[in-house]
Amino acid sequence: QVRLVESGGGSVQAGGSLRLSCAASEYTYRMAWFRQAPGKEREGVAVSYSGGGTYYADSVKGRFTISRDNAKNTVSLQMNSLKPEDTAMYYCAAATSYSLAPLRPQTYNDWGQGTQVTVSS
């Protein structure tokens, strides 16, 4: 089991930026960020593959950037132009295999504890 620890959440006004980081206890093939707002389902935000590929949800394309450091087993999410609808608990996730649906939470084996992001208008 991979242990994941997130950091970097907080509160920001609309239009601002935040950077989230996730440290994994070991190498993982696919790492991703998800978010879940109260009363809503967990939503995939961005995916990073160990070979450098990335994948984004339409709702964050052009605003969020996922990056990873394979040597340090870390993945980060740079969030710019934040909107109130981005408010949610953000989770880091890890998977050991390829999936045709990389934003589906069911395709991930391990999860972090989450970090809160709040965007005020």
Pairwise CA distance, residues 45 & 57, whole Å: 5
Average pLDDT (23-40) is 96
User: How would you classify the pairing of strands 4-7 and 18-24?
Assistant: antiparallel
Pairwise CA distance, residues 111 & 1, whole Å: 10
**Residue 120: predicted pLDDT:** 98
What residues contact 101, with CB distance under 8 A and at least 6 apart? 107
DSSP state of 38: T
User: How would you classify the pairing of strands 88-95 and 110-111?
Assistant: antiparallel
Q: What pLDDT digit, counting tens, does each position of 56-107 carry? A: 999 999 999 999 999 999 999 999 999 999 999 999 999 999 899 999 999 9
Kindly tell me the sign of the dihedral angle through the C-alpha atoms of 79, 75, 88, 95: positive
